[in-house]
Homo-oligomer: A and B are copies of this chain.
Amino acid sequence: MAPPDSATPPADAGTGSRLALRRVAIDTYRENVAYLHRECAVYRAEGFQALSKVEVRANGRRILATLNVVDDEAIVGNRELGLSEDAFAQLGVADGHLASVSQAEPAASIPALHRKIAGERLGREDFRAIVRDIAEHRYSKIELTAFVVATNQGELDREEVHFLTEAMAESGRRLDWRERPVVDKHCIGGIPGNRTSMLVVPIVAAHGMLCPKTSSRAITSPSGTADTMEVLAQVELPEAALADIVREHRGCLAWGGTAGLSPADDVLISVERPLSIDSPGQMVASILSKKIAAGSTHLVLDIPVGPTAKVRSMTEALRLRKLFEFVAARIHLTLDVVITDGRQPVGNGIGPVLEARDVMRVLENHPLAPIDLRQKALRLAGRVLEFDPDVRGGDGFSIARDILDSERALAKMNALIQAQGARAFDPDHLNLGRLSFEVEAAADGVVTGIDNLQIARIARLAGAPKVAGAGVDLFRKLGDAVLRGEPLYRVYADYPADLEFARQACGQSSGYAVGGEDEVPHVFVEF
């Protein structure tokens, strides 16, 4: 092997040449990027092109990265190989370590991708090959987008959704809890404040069922369950510690990001998020593959329906339910789908601290606890409890209510918080954003509509979830009477610019409609 300072290409040029690694502190948002100086002998000899995929090997590991060409020695010298932060961390070496770099073989599944783009139906092995390449970062952002668009909206039939789900579950690790049932509860998302998991898990675990819940952080919403739980406790725990907590307490409320479950899903999200694409097939594959990989055997799935929810009609909800059921049956996951009221946010607070307040109030049977959050959590927890063979069909709700009312759920939540590592949270002195304003009703009447999307947008502009104390606190819900000038909600922020953004958004649309009592939309689901 030629020394890295050789000016002529080494004899094994075809298989890669060695350069000193250098960490380049640019956040490339999940894309591995390698930086080579334009005058670097390896760059010239290997026939690399800007944006080609390269393979970097060091320390017995191998990663793929997109090549960026650099003309500034302050970023990378011509005997160095720069790597973006994520990529650098994956190799587990120090600055200056020698690495080899060569052209990456093109992803083997690209012909299958092209067939899908051309509208063909793909088979099990095609999806396996594509998902493996995606999980191994062999796809560029452009190829990922092509896959997401080509498998969007009715482009996948239900067998294809099954193959995709299966391939995604297989693409990473798979946990085995060595008992069953292992229960879980999941919502397809889109409803601000909908923090039922933080109530369902303590109730179900208090009953003794195994419920190792991992949640995501907010992607486009003002808070994810992991963000809200983080107000109360640590959520990023080493895996061994998490397993100990689950064994001792029968549950946990942790962030699922580091477990390597369905890794292809994390890669796909990096494209789906900026495109706001969330087609039924992709949603089913994403959710169910994570559940299978996490070792769940039984799942209660919450599909909220409403004019500003992800699912806007009962017809659509039923179609989605059947797709979930079809795939779940094929991957041997017991599934109970619950269609719920998605006409408005759940609870009062939107944003990590405000939502944590609501959850703790429900657990503490506080007089200001939001009724709708309590009711929904009890209903979902009851359905999970009915997975217990010893619970009679129909008894779940009242068992859940007993566990909540007796404060056994509160005791379990406190035990989980202590086990995960409690954080300072004082319900009487909430750490809310230091700036705020209220939005008032423009007329007398009854609240006839609350726009989930606009309320979420306002809360995000105010700084949630990055600023935990930012968000929106709702004072009125659907059907509530309100007088002109009375506050509908209060917005909290920490930064003046955030407050200003949120205020402008409220000016465009408050997200509230106030009108006659007869204009309140019907709940078209029994609740």
Residues of B contacting A117 with CB < 8 Å? 149, 152-153, 277
Docked complex Cα distance between A143 and B144 (Å): 12
Residue in contact with A28 in the complex, picked from B38, B68, B274, B275, CB distance below 8 Å: B68
Q: Does A367 contact B (CB under 8 A)?
A: no
Docked complex Cα distance between A69 and B28 (Å): 8
Count the copies: 2
Q: Does A527 contact B (CB under 8 A)?
A: no
Q: Does A63 contact B (CB under 8 A)?
A: no
Docked complex Cα distance between A31 and B357 (Å): 44
Docked complex Cα distance between A283 and B140 (Å): 23
Q: Which residue of chain B lies nearest to A155 when distances are taken between CB atoms in the complex?
A: B119
Q: Does A26 contact B (CB under 8 A)?
A: yes
Docked complex Cα distance between A154 and B463 (Å): 44
Closest approach, in angstroms, between the C-beta of A23 and any C-beta of chain B? 8
Q: In the complex, which range does the number of interface residues on chain A fall in?
A: 35 or more
User: Are B275 and A143 in contact, CB atoms less than 8 angstroms apart?
Assistant: yes
Closest approach, in angstroms, between the C-beta of A186 and any C-beta of chain B? 25
Closest approach, in angstroms, between the C-beta of A141 and any C-beta of chain B? 6
User: Are B14 and A497 in contact, CB atoms less than 8 angstroms apart?
Assistant: yes
Residues of B contacting A497 with CB < 8 Å? 9, 13-14, 45-47
User: Are B495 and A44 in contact, CB atoms less than 8 angstroms apart?
Assistant: yes
User: Are A149 and B145 in contact, CB atoms less than 8 angstroms apart?
Assistant: yes
Q: Does A394 contact B (CB under 8 A)?
A: no
Docked complex Cα distance between A244 and B74 (Å): 43
Closest approach, in angstroms, between the C-beta of A379 and any C-beta of chain B? 33
Leading 9 A-B pairs by shortest Cβ distance: A13-B497, A25-B72, A145-B145, A25-B71, A27-B69, A45-B497, A149-B149, A9-B497, A29-B50
Residues of A within 8 A of B (CB): 8-9, 13-14, 24-29, 35, 38, 44-47, 50-51, 68-72, 74-75, 85, 114, 117-119, 140-143, 145-146, 148-150, 152-154, 271, 274-277, 461, 463, 466, 495-498, 500-501, 504
